[in-house]
Amino acid sequence: MSADRKKLEFTRRDFVAGAAVAGAAAAGLINLSHAQNAPAGGPPDSSIAQMNAYGADLERLVLLRTYPIAVKMLKSENEIPRGAVRPKKDRGVHYAACQAFAAARREGMTLAMFIEDHWCFEPIISYGLVETPKDYLEGSMSAFFVADKEAARKRGAEMTRLPYGKYAGMVIGPLKSANYEPDLAIIYCNAAQLRHMLFALMRAKGYRVTTTLDPVGSCVHSVVPSLLTGDVKVTVPDFGEYGRAMPTDDEMILTVPAARMKELMEGIYFYEKSRMGYRSYNYTMQLDFVQPPFYVDYFRKWGLDAPKPPAKQ
According to the model, what pLDDT value does residue 90 have?
98
What Cα–Cα distance (Å) separates residue 289 from each residue in 137, 286, 306, 310?
Answer: 60, 6, 12, 11
Which residues, at least 6 apart from 270, have a Cβ–Cβ distance to it below 8 Å?
200, 203
According to the model, what pLDDT value does residue 313 have?
65
Following CA atoms 230, 233, 239, 243 in sequence, which dihedral angle do they give, to the nearest 10 degrees? 80
What Cα–Cα distance (Å) separates residue 229 from each residue in 91, 161, 171, 223?
Answer: 35, 12, 20, 11
According to the model, what pLDDT value does residue 53 have?
97
> Tens digit of pLDDT for each residue in 263-273?
999 999 999 99
Which residues, at least 6 apart from 85, have a Cβ–Cβ distance to it below 8 Å?
91, 109, 110, 111, 112
Q: Which of the residues in the chain have pLDDT under 50? A: 1-44
- The answer to whether 247 and 186 are in contact (CB under 8 A) is no
User: Residue 74: what residue type?
Assistant: L
Using CA atoms, how far apart are residues 267 and 279, in angstroms rounded to an integer? 15
Which residues, at least 6 apart from 153, have a Cβ–Cβ distance to it below 8 Å?
137, 138, 139, 142
> Tens digit of pLDDT for each residue in 244-303?
999 999 999 999 999 999 999 999 999 999 999 999 987 888 899 999 999 999 999 999
According to the model, what pLDDT value does residue 207 have?
96
According to the model, what pLDDT value does residue 45 have?
59
- The answer to whether 147 and 182 are in contact (CB under 8 A) is no
Which residues, at least 6 apart from 154, have a Cβ–Cβ distance to it below 8 Å?
139
According to the model, what pLDDT value does residue 11 have?
43
For 123-179, what is the HEC assignment? Answer: HHHHCCCCCCCHHHHCCCCHHHCCCCHHHHHHHHHHCCCCCCCCCCEEEEEEHHHCC
